[in-house]
Structure 1
Amino acid sequence: MADPVMPLAEAFAALGTPEGRQDPYPLYEALRAHGNVAQRAPGRLVVTGYEECARALRDAALHVQDGRSYDAHYPQWRAHSSLRAFTSSMLYSNPPDHARLRNVVSFAFTPPKVARLHDVIAGMCDRLLDRMAGLGAGGADVDVIGEFASRLPIAVISAMMGFPEQDQVWFRDMASRVAVSTDGFTDPTALEQADEAMDEMSGYFAELLDHRRRRPADDLVTLLAEAHDAGDGRLDHDELHGTLMVLLTAGFETTSFLIGHGALLALEQPSYAHLLRTGPEFAAGYVEEILRFEPPVHVTSRMATRDLVLGDVPVAAGSRLTLILAAANRDGRRFADPDRFDPARTDSKPLSFGLGSHFCLGAPLARLEARIALPALLRRFPDLAAVAPPVYRDRWVVRGLDTFPVRLGADAGART
């Protein structure tokens, strides 16, 4: 007898539980059983299909949640500084504000400009791996997330923005706390902690901006200060701080999760670890498959500004759509054997960085960091081994490993 289908509302609600956040994939399939686009409540739809998510991401009639939509649905949101920061950024902006905010910094993340960072990122990897070797000497456990997967992205984005090196670990911890607010109002205690972290970060940003005004440098903080101070409408005060916050969190946490998942999958499947060590060209396909199979960003949302049809489902103006990108990346209509990790896939095109005008600005940088970091880690520590299961963050929207203890092996101290 076939298993009964879990009610859609029950499956969706379960995604907000600790158990659901730890392993949401069975719940995604429970949602998909109700259709690739399904109504979970009046005016609320959930989208799990690849083609339907891709269409929604590209459709100009579907807007991201911005300050106006927050006012309508969560009138208390302005009491939360972490929500104000994100909502003042390009991440939660629609035309014409979105293009204006994105254009201020987009030149720094073009593929040619990012490619020129290759040697800088490789050097940062080497220094972090040297540090790991010291920590793991004598067989001591090392957390590959805390000591490598999270430290590399924060070092890279800090260098681009002009943040002092000695503050990087503090930035990482503050950014992780603030980023909880992307889950919205699901955890009031975590949201309160995010606000406290955002207030602390805002004070730091103000001091650093003043410093860069007195001593300009070739970095993004100087650029943003100049754009704000020009008074030409490109960037107001809240947008300045929101942009700094989004560049820091988006440039760090999602890449950390990408590298962490890559390390975990390589240790689970040693043949892939061998290929990463010995065939540098393998890394590109491997990283794309991580993005499909274990994307850092699981969910985004859109609001319909007019009546439309998505798939074969009518969507009324004002409807709110939850787009589950991680489910779309495992849509069997688009991917053969979707629950199998297979770096040899061709024409994969996961939706993990989005599509359309909100396509992730930092996608080229995240890909480059992962393609450099994973082979470097596995070459340096060929006997790398897990000593305990990894622990996932208690998050849903942006999901990844919090800790992953490993041992480096007998030759941990030697460079190869």
Structure 2
Amino acid sequence: MDPAETFATLMSPEGRLDPYPAYERLRAHGPVVQTGPGVYAVTGYPEVDELLRDPRMRVSDDKWRDMMLPQWRDSPALSTIARSMLETNPPDHSRMRRLAAGAFTPRRIAAMRDVVAAQADELIEAMASAGRGGRPVDFMADFAYPLPVAVICALLGVPAADRPLFRRWAADLTGVLEPEITWDELVVADAGATELVGYFTELVAARRRRPADDLTTALVQAHDAGDRLTGDELLANLVVLLVAGFETTTNLLGNGLAVLLAHRGAADVLRRHPEHAPAYVDELLRYDSPVQLTSRTSSETLRAGGVELPAGSWVLLLLGAANRDARRYPDPARFDPWRALLSPLSFGAGPHYCLGAGLARLEGQVAFTRLLRRLPALALSGTPRRRSRLTLRGYETLPVTVGELAPVADHGAPVGATPDTP
């Protein structure tokens, strides 16, 4: 099968559900391969890492969109994403990112640990109540979504009563992040974007009337103080901060729990040694990344992996494939939290490195240790259902049985001991 045929299988419904075989078939042709006219796919870790950091590689800008999608301004979904830091190049990207970065410093994230733990315990207790008598519960609806959405909503100042609104709106909007999207899918994404922009338009007005100690107020004040943020940028970045603030972590929690429940020995070690949660979370991110790809266009001709990328090339950087590059990670298809892990590319690299990566890692570390210790009999129940998405890889449903609830314990043991191996 040639690279173009392999790439077509990756884009198929079957390929989206399990992209890893297609990644390996692409990799057999080299770390960088041409899959169509002006289109290249990158599977190698060093090549993806290098291109993400190369200033000649740009996210799609208005000029590119005008050429490829002439009517993109008529799409609420495409225009919202286009005005956010997600799809903006320096210097505009740097300007917008700086305004939000203060909410995601390491010190501020560390200070949120107790809040995340309290929220996780509340959700675990609710799961235990709903799952009494062996009744299955949906981990995605009952834990993986509400935990990160509560955290990002608290940062943004979104009222708790509004949190249930966002799961469907965000799922609809993020269809535009897929490398291929149908007209019907774009209509759905536009509807989600319209709802989200409308919601934040009202929240912005409320924060002007009554400022609060939250990120929405900070961004509103940055806009109102001068030229640091336009009105479209204000709303677009609030939408992206909300959606990115829980979509990736929701997928991390669902993908990660499924892996842990399939590797009981490793789960038992983490249950006994919660201090090793950071290594586990990084290996879970590597093993089944919640973000599988991103893309760039080349502003000038360059070379990567021995292949020339002409100016204007559209380059798909397959993060999930790079995380399983055997040149970087020996025996990459094996889940191994005891490997000497080098940072996976799940959050990207370079100027667009995920702003909330530290927060997502914290939520994963707290959640997995809490779940395994407080629900020692936690197990899969029935068949999980994957979302038919490639860029944002996760579960639609993940049914589990929870068993008896164990009491709250101290999860703050110091890092440093050598973990037991199963």
TM norm. shorter chain > 0.5: yes
Distance 1:281 1:389 in 2: 31
2:155 aligns to what? Answer: 160
**Secondary structure at the counterpart of residue 373 of structure 1:** helix
- Equivalent residue pairs, number: 409
What is the alpha-carbon distance in structure 2 between the residues aligned to residue 378 and residue 173 of structure 1? 28
Equivalent residue number for residue 228 of structure 2: 234
Residues 59-208 of structure 1: pairs in structure 2 closer than 5 A: 59-183=54-178, 185-208=180-203
Q: Contact 1:86 / 1:92 at 8 angstroms: preserved in 2?
A: yes
Q: Which residue identity is paired with 1:25?
A: Y
User: Which residue in 1 is equivalent to 2:391?
Assistant: 397
The structural deviation recorded for 1:234 is 1.2
Separation in 1, partners of 2:180, 2:320:
21
Deviations 1:305-345 (A, max 9, x none): 11211121112111111110110111111110011110011
- The match for 1:37 among 32, 52, 57 is 32
User: Do the aligned partners of 1:185 and 1:191 also contact (CA within 8 Å) in 2?
Assistant: no
Q: CA deviation at 1:414?
A: 6.0
What amino acid does structure 2 have at the position aligned with 1:42?
P
One-letter amino acid matched to 1:283 = A
Equivalent residues of 1:16, 1:186 under 8 A apart: no
CA separation in 2, counterparts of 1:171 and 1:291? 24
3-state SS in 1 of match to 2:206: helix
Q: Is residue 2:305 matched to residue 1:311?
A: yes
On the 8 A contact 1:109/1:362 being kept in 2, the answer is: yes
Q: In the alignment, which residue of structure 2 is the partner of 1:284? A: 278
TM-superposed CA distance for 1:413, in Å, is: 8.0
From 334, 340, 343, the equivalent of 2:328 is: 334
Task: Evaluate the alpha carbon distance shift between residue 414 and residue 347 of structure 1 in structure 2; reply closer, same or farther with a 3 A threshold.
Answer: closer
For residue 309 of structure 1, give the secondary structure of its aligned residue in structure 2.
strand
Q: Output the CA distance in 2 between the equivalents of 1:45 and 1:368.
A: 34
Query: For each residue in 1:195-216, what CA deviation from the matched residue of structure 2 results, as whole angstroms up to 9, or x when unmatched?
Result: 1121122111111111111110
2:295 to 271, 285, 301: 301
Which residue of structure 2 lines up, in the alignment, with residue 16 of structure 1? 11
Q: Which is worse superposed, 235-244 or 175-184?
A: 175-184
Flag structure 2 segments of 5+ consecutive residues without an equivalent: 410-422
Aligned in 2, Cα 1:322/1:264: closer, same or farther, shift over 3 Å? same
1:3 equivalent in structure 2: none
Offset, 1:120? 0.6
CA distance in 2 between counterparts of 1:275 and 1:241 reads 44
Higher mean C-alpha displacement, 235-244 vs 364-373: 235-244
Give a deviation string over 1:17-55, Cα, whole Å, max 9, x none.
111111111111111111111112232111111111011
Q: What RMSD in Å do the two structures reach over aligned CA positions?
A: 1.3
Distance in 1 of aligned mates of 2:137 and 2:336: 28
Give the Å deviation of 1:171.
1.6
Counterpart contact for 2:175–2:181, Cα < 8 Å: no
Question: Which residue of structure 1 aligns with residue 246 of structure 2?
Answer: 252
| Aligned residues of 2:298 and 2:314 also touching (Cα < 8 A) | yes
Quote how far apart the aligned CAs of 1:172 are. 2.2
Q: TM-score, normalised by structure 2?
A: 0.94
How much has 1:247 moved relative to structure 2? 0.5
C-alpha displacement of 1:185? 4.7
Letter in 2 for 1:114: I
Could you tell me which amino acid in structure 1 is paired with residue 360 of structure 2? A
For 1:349, the equivalent position in structure 2 comes to 343
What amino acid is aligned across from residue 352 of structure 1 in structure 2? S
Cα distance, 1:104 vs structure 2: 0.7
Judge conservation of contact 1:135–1:142 (CA < 8 Å) in 2: yes
Q: Which residue of 2 aligns with 1:378?
A: 372
**Offset, 1:363:** 0.4
Name the CA shift for 1:346/1:414 in 2 (closer, same or farther; >3 Å).
Answer: closer
Unaligned runs of 5+ in 1: 1-5
Shift of 1:348: 1.9
Partner of 1:266: 260
Shift of 1:170: 0.9
TM-score using structure 1 length: 0.96
Divergent runs of 4+, >4 A: 413-416
Which amino acid is 2:357 matched to? Answer: A
2:227 and 2:305 map into 1 onto residues whose CA distance is: 39
- Say which SS state the counterpart of residue 252 (structure 1) adopts: helix
Rounded to whole Å, the distance in 1 between the matches of 2:331 and 2:382 is: 28
Alpha-carbon shift at residue 184 of structure 1 (Å): 5.3
